[in-house]
């Protein structure tokens, strides 16, 4: 492992203006919420950066320090939240630098872990309380907002909520951020998996920064990816749990090759996840933040895609190209599932496009046209001006950013419509025509018993789609 030793404290490597130029009261008056973080004894979180072992990709933050802090959130003259002073297990929070390559440049992304659960988005309902939150440095452009909107419109199991805000760290203005829910298990308001027997794991190119990871056949011959843990926490995982999920994924990988993947994979969730990235034109298929989950360790629970995360490379493909997740055969299973003797995944993908395309496009057009002129959009634009002063950079206005995305989407939609929207052959069949021993799955990928009475609807068997009348 090659260490670059770029410390957070080495600010001379990056442009920045004197913090004294940014009066807190003036920043508050811009109209966004202000997240004010004060660390114990003024200590700053630090990290180093390193290149991974040969055969891996990217640069990642390592040796991250965690610092106790107090978090106060205000809106104009009102205090919306106050964590109190840091006392381990009682009050306050700890903060550390988050992300990988995103942590090298300019302002840093942060992870906040509260000592007592709370809703930092202050929605007035305790069901949203959680300890883990993120500050993403993505507010100066609309890419993440649009990505999360697509995530919700396509129907992923959960969409992280966020607010744009201005951030101060020990009185030093850090710029505008998105304060956002982190991807984790929370039955009430985030990803719902069984507390005792559920799993959330990540296909992770930065596996070499973690203490615990495992591999499966598909990734074993290369070092680019391994599986790392989101739930249970890597420090709590038992060997029995690791063996179970590894063996399950091995079976799923084999089933993709054999064309029988519906018995292991939630086909519709996989199709939603890929279609969302194809809509967004995601370039970076090698990046991290590809999460899968399994509700529990029973046969009724299938491998399911989680929410989308990390939209840094959205809208980076040419308008007449699919995302690299669609075509990158070494990165994940999608190319094999698209080009498969079993057409269930391809059919679900096409059906989703035909069902969702108009709703998604119309919603995005409305959002992109209206957000820059909304009260929040105007306050964010004023904050972007201060952000640019702080880091001596020049970003597009929200209006220009929105117009650029709209222009890209308009041409890209024509491409998607041409490539995806064509009739999928569906065979019509009666219940009596199904063979008694014929494997049968519903459109959600769940195995059904053809011996009993079938409800009218669409079913899939041996790569073909049937309608039971």
H, E, C per residue of the chain: CEECCCCCCCHHHCCCCCHHHCCHHHHHCCCCEEEEEEEHHHCCCCCEEEECCCCCCCEEEECCCCEEEEEEEEECCEEEEECCCCECCCECEEEEECCCHHHCCCCCCEEEEEEEEECCCCCCCHHHCEEEEEEECCCCCCHHHHHHHHHHHHCCCCCCCEEEEEEEECCEEEEEEEEEECCCECCCCCECCCCCCCEEEEEECCHHHCCCCECCHHHHCCCCCEEEEEECCCCCCCHHHHHHHHHHHHHHHHHHHHCCHHHCECHHHHHHHHHHHHHHCCCCCCCCCEEEEECCCCCCCCEEECCCCCCCCCCCCCCCCCCHHHHCCCCCCHHHHHCCCCCHHHHHHHHHHHHHHHHHHHHHHHHHHHHHHCHHHHHHHHHHHHHHHHHCCCCCCHHHHHHHHHHHHHHHHHHHHHHHCCCCCCEEECHHHCCCCCCEEECCCCEECCCCCCCCEEEEECCEEEEEC
Domain residue spans of the chain: 427-468
How confident is the model over 155-179, as pLDDT tens digits?
A: 999 999 999 999 999 999 999 999 9
Asked if the model's pLDDT at residue 410 lies above 80, the reply is: yes
pLDDT at 55: 87
pLDDT at 421: 80
How confident is the model over 270-304, as pLDDT tens digits?
A: 999 999 999 999 999 987 799 999 999 999 999 99
Asked if the model's pLDDT at residue 202 lies above 70, the reply is: yes
pLDDT at 5: 46
The answer to which of 178-187, 325-334, 372-381, 458-467 has the lowest mean pLDDT is 458-467
How confident is the model over 414-448, as pLDDT tens digits?
A: 999 999 986 444 444 454 555 555 677 765 556 77
Asked if the model's pLDDT at residue 452 lies above 60, the reply is: no
How confident is the model over 41-94, as pLDDT tens digits?
A: 999 999 999 998 988 888 888 899 999 999 999 999 999 999 999 999 999 999
pLDDT at 466: 61
What mean pLDDT is reported for the chain?
Answer: 90
Asked if the model's pLDDT at residue 248 lies above 50, the reply is: yes
């Amino acid at each position: 492992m090659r260490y670059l030793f770029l410390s957070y404290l080495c600010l001379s490597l990056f442009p920045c203006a004197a913090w004294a130029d940014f009066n807190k009261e003036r920043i508050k008056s811009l109209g966004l919420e202000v997240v004010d973080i004060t660390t114990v004894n003024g200590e700053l979180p630090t990290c180093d950066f390193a290149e991974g072992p040969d055969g891996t990709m990217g640069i990642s933050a390592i040796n991250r320090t965690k610092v106790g802090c107090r978090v106060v959130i205000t809106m104009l003259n009102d205090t919306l939240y106050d964590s109190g002073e840091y006392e381990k297990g009682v009050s306050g929070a700890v903060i550390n630098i988050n992300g990988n390559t995103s942590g090298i440049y300019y302002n840093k992304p942060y992870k906040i872990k509260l000592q007592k659960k709370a809703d930092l988005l202050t929605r007035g309902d305790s069901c949203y309380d959680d300890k883990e939150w993120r500050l993403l440095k993505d507010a100066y452009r609309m890419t993440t907002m649009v990505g999360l909107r697509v995530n919700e419109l396509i129907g992923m199991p959960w969409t992280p909520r966020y607010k744009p805000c201005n951030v101060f760290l020990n009185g030093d203005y850090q710029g505008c951020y998105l304060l956002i829910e982190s991807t984790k298990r929370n039955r009430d308001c985030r990803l719902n998996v069984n507390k005792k027997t559920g799993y959330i794991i990540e296909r992770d190119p930065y596996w070499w920064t973690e203490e615990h990871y495992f591999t499966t056949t598909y990734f074993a011959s290369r070092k680019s990816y391994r599986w790392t843990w989101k739930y249970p926490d890597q420090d709590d995982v038992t060997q029995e749990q690791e063996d179970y999920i590894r063996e399950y994924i091995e079976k799923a990988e084999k089933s993709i090759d054999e064309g029988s993947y519906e018995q292991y994979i939630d086909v519709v969730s996989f199709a939603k996840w890929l279609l969302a990235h194809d809509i967004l034109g995601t370039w970076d298929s090698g990046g991290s933040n590809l999460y899968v989950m399994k509700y529990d360790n029973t046969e009724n629970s299938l491998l399911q895609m989680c929410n989308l995360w990390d939209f840094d490379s959205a809208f980076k493909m040419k308008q007449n190209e699919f995302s690299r997740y669609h075509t990158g055969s070494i990165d994940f299973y999608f190319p094999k599932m698209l080009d498969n003797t079993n057409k269930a995944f391809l059919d679900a993908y096409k059906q989703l496009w035909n069902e969702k395309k108009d709703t998604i496009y119309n919603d995005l057009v409305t959002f992109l046209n209206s957000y820059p002129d909304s009260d929040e959009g105007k306050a964010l634009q004023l904050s972007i001006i201060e952000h640019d002063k702080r880091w001596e950079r020049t970003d597009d206005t929200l209006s220009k950013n929105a117009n650029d995305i709209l222009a890209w989407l308009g041409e890209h939609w024509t491409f998607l419509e041409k490539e995806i929207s064509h009739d999928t052959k569906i065979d019509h069949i009666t219940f009596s025509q199904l063979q008694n021993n014929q494997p049968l799955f519903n459109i959600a990928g769940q195995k059904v018993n053809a011996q009993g009475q079938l409800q009218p609807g669409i079913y899939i068997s041996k790569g073909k789609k049937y309608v039971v009348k």
